[in-house]
Chains A and B, each alone.
Chain A
Amino acid sequence: MLDNASGKVVSLEGALTVDKAAGLKEELGKAIASSSLVLVDLSSAEDMDLACLQAIYAAAADSLGRGGRLGFRGKLSSRIARRLAACGFVSAPRERAEGLEDELAGFPRAGA
């Protein structure tokens, strides 16, 4: 789990549908360029589609390539928690996003 005190925070809100993926890609790109530690705050996110999830995976891979890390924080909405579990990204729904980066299937992480 990442220490969230010193990272750049990207807060996501509402339903993260495919039409928001391009904006998210850009925002994450700026964040990883400016900080070696990026935290995606999911506490205000209600739902998430695959397109946005892919953008986060891509940003995590880039961050890792630069020697940084991308992690998560905040309370997960039950909708997102259930969706991630049902689609095999995590083994069971979880209440909080902290540490999600260590559990998400195939998520870019050091040594993986």
Chain B
Amino acid sequence: MLDQFKSTFKEEAYELLASLEDTFLELESAPLNGELVNAAFRAIHTIKGSAAMFGFDTVSRFSHEFETVLDLCRSGTLSISKDFIGLALKGRDYLRRLMDFDEPVSEEIQAEAEPLLERLKDFAGKASPAKPAEAALSSGGGAGGPSEGESAVTATYRIGLKPSRDIFKNGTKVLSLVEELVALGQADVFPHTEEIPGLAALDPESCYCWWDIILTTDADENAMRDVFIFVAEEAGLKIEKLADASDAAAKKLGDILVDRGAATPEVIRAALGTQRKLGDVLVERNVVSRQQIEAALVEQQHMKKVQERSEGAVGSIRVASDKLDSLVDLVGELVTLQARLSRTSFDLMDGQLSSISEQFERLISQLRDNTMSIRMLPIGSTFNRFRRVVRDLSLELGKECELVTEGAETELDKTVIEKLGDPLVHIIRNSIDHGLERPEGRAAAGKQGTGTIKLSALHSGAYVLIRVSDDGRGLDREAIRAKAVERGLISAGQEMTEQETMQLIFAPGFSTAKVVTTVSGRGVGMDVVKREIDSLGGSVQLDSSPGQGTTVTLKIPLTLAIIEGLLVRIAQEYFVVPLSTVDGCIEIPRQDLSAMGERRIISYRDEFVPFILLRELFGSGDGEEGEEPEIEQMVIASAQDARVGFVVDQVIGDNQTVIKPIGRLYRDVEGISGATILGDGTVALILDINRLAAMVQREGAKGTAGAAGAI
């Protein structure tokens, strides 16, 4: 029983440490955010307590020291600097490493803690006594905030603070008041400085600034007003409640401007009609100032963050992932059994049985969709891991780099997400190491010193497109060509398209890096990426402009468990073409095909499409010439951004395909990605359309009889 508790503790600790990493990374850019400091403190506090309870003494001792320093941050006596975050991340990594060992932990591993503890103590030693305002600022729990364990309702407020011109004259320190106000919760603050005149007109004792503040807090309105209790009249305070935590929603820019009374709905509608950026149009038409637009955007971003956090807090239960895998396996078995039932009812021509089979099919279909949806996870969980990669690598390489993510909410099957992690790390590391220039190089190229890596995900049919873009120097095609010739991958005079040249970087052992770094330059990486993505049934596309940057696009199937397939027959063998790749089906008389000889290209929807005879490729029906149909059927599929035709004997129809792995013996057979069991118990092989398309293109549409060997 104790082992079970220990395993549950470890599972929870892994999750806490993962979220702790995200918290530290967020704190790096928002070191004043008291809520984040509290979250980090709570995570370490929980780990410490649970570790002590289950006998993980080394974890508990280290957490205790860590907690002590975080407590200093919480009370405001220790400022959070970049250095501190670096150390905190290392401390977190050490704890993560400790979790992999059982007690007693070896002395060698324990010794790794010493330098970290020393540095933590150094930081603690540097802490200075807190001033009240600083303490409140860091703890995020100033006047009006509930104490730990006390429940309170969190809400978001729009606060306008427009002090009177004379407010300085009674000795009011306006900045201190703003600090005190924002310490009540999580705030985004926009100062308006546009009314500050030139020196000649400036009265040094007049206040010209005002603020738009969006504050999410569990303090009530009175607590906010209390901050200004002695200057209530001069503060020009206006507080509007925007939303409670549970109903927070990011509004459109136009709606925010209308809410703020900056524009009327009619003006917004007219501006939207121009099909240009709303903010630009409104500023051009002098409806609002640029500052008003920026302040509204700050509000929009704040509400988006609150909304995301509130959505993430939806009730959930923890289920071990192997239980989920078993459930999917069982649903797969049910789908197969249902196909058999459907087939049997058809063979028996029994109306009652057919009716039951159809109802059963509907239920199975719903069960399948629900089960698959449980396995779907937002890809953002993986994106967070890359923040750390980008941070550490840019520090190591002396490059300034920012990671921008988009589409973190895009969902993918958990197995696919797990397998995507390493390829994406490879791509991002390559982008930073090879793609981004050093700050001096960027300055010379007229770029901002900080490079950008953009990671985005979006749905596209049965696929998810994941893009990693950098704004670096772009791929050097000449260097790629030269290296490929040097490595014997191509001949010196070989003609290649730009895409083909760029794809050479995926060749095993290829690298154009002049210097081997610890990061890249060993020629290991991009070929592994390609192999991993291929194994997921996906594809990799490269786009690059010299001096502008490079984009790597991964096209990944949504799931690897059950797919919609198109069942086809060749001789007595059955194959499944993933339906998501199918563009259409056409019929061609066999004599027309024969007349084409080796020139296997047809015209399809005004496009020349190369095709392949799967009967020849797989050696199906050898010696059974008479079985070839008079009218052949061709499945046109899209792969690698091009169409390819596959000639089969018969297109049978759609098929719920439960993907089963193929045995080790068949793993290297080109053109096959898996297998499935049909309703009558026969096995159908699932075609790897990407590989087959590549084969067709390689062979110049001449046909490749026997290229894959008989199966």
Contacts and interface: CB of A to CB of B under 8 A. Distances in A.
Interface stretch (B3-11, B107-115, B189-197): B189-197
Contacts of A25: 199, 202, 204
Nearest to B137: A86
A5 interface: no
A65 B200 CA distance: 13
A54 B208 contact: yes
Contacts of B208: 54
Given A86-B179, A87-B175, A87-B178, A92 B29 contact: yes
A106 B178 contact: no
Nearest to A112: B290
Contact of A24 (B28, B182, B189, B204): B204
A18 B168 contact: yes
Contacts of A18: 168, 171, 204-205
A23 to B, nearest CB: 9
A59 B191 contact: no
Interface in B134-163: 134, 137
B368 to A, nearest CB: 47
Interface residues of B, number: 40
Contacts of A85: 31-32
Interface string A57-86: 111011001000000000000100011011
A50 interface: yes
B192 A106 contact: yes
Contacts of B79: 78, 82, 93
A28 interface: yes
A100 B72 CA distance: 28
A4 B191 CA distance: 28
B198 A86 contact: no
Contacts of B174: 49-50
Contacts, number: 111
Contact of A58 (B31, B173, B199, B205): B199
A78 to B, nearest CB: 5
Contact of B196 (A29, A54, A88, A93): A54
Contacts of B202: 25, 54-55, 58
A13 interface: no
Nearest to B178: A87
Interface in B197-232: 197-200, 202, 204-205, 207-209, 211, 213
A93 B32 contact: yes
Contacts of B81: 95
Most chain B Cβ neighbours within 10 Å, of A24, A95, A105? A105
Contact of B194 (A65, A88, A89, A106): A106
B211 A29 contact: no
A21 B175 CA distance: 15
B182 A86 contact: yes
Contacts of B182: 86-87
Given A86-B32, A91-B29, A51 B204 contact: yes
Nearest to A80: B175
A95 to B, nearest CB: 7
A93 B273 CA distance: 41
A83 B31 contact: no
Contact of B205 (A28, A51, A87): A51
A93 B175 contact: no
Contacts of B196: 54, 57-58, 61
B30 interface: yes
Nearest to B163: A50
Contacts of A78: 79
B178 A86 contact: yes
Contacts of A21: 204-205
Given A83-B175, A85-B32, A28 B137 contact: no
Contacts of A48: 175
Interface residues of A, number: 37
At the interface, is chain A mostly helix, strand, loop or mixed? Answer: helix
Nearest to B174: A50
A106 B190 CA distance: 10
B197 A82 contact: no
A57 B168 CA distance: 17
B291 interface: yes
B175 A49 contact: yes
Contacts of B211: 87-88
A88 B137 CA distance: 14
Contacts of A91: 29
A93 to B, nearest CB: 6
A62 B134 CA distance: 34
A28 B134 CA distance: 30
B143 to A, nearest CB: 16
A62 B197 CA distance: 9
B205 A59 contact: no
A48 B192 CA distance: 18
B158 to A, nearest CB: 14
A28 B208 CA distance: 18
B204 A65 contact: no
B129 to A, nearest CB: 13
Contacts of A107: 193
Given A61-B198, A86-B137, A55 B209 contact: no
A92 B31 contact: yes
A106 B193 contact: yes
B577 to A, nearest CB: 51
Nearest to B194: A106
Nearest to B182: A86
A99 to B, nearest CB: 10
Contact of B291 (A50, A86, A106): A106
A13 B182 CA distance: 27
Contacts of A105: 190-191, 193
A22 interface: yes
B32 A29 contact: no
A22 B32 contact: no
A24 B202 CA distance: 12
22 contacts: A29-B199, A49-B168, A50-B168, A50-B209, A51-B168, A51-B207, A53-B175, A54-B193, A54-B204, A54-B208, A58-B199, A61-B198, A61-B199, A87-B175, A87-B191, A88-B213, A92-B29, A92-B30, A93-B31, A93-B32, A93-B79, A106-B291
Given A21-B205, A50-B174, A106-B191, 10 more contacts: A24-B204, A54-B204, A57-B196, A58-B198, A59-B199, A62-B198, A87-B189, A87-B211, A88-B188, A93-B31
Interface of B: 28-32, 79, 81, 134, 137, 168, 171, 173-176, 178-179, 182-183, 188-194, 196-200, 202, 204-205, 207-209, 211, 213, 291
Closest 5 CB pairs of A and B: A88-B189, A21-B204, A106-B193, A86-B179, A22-B204
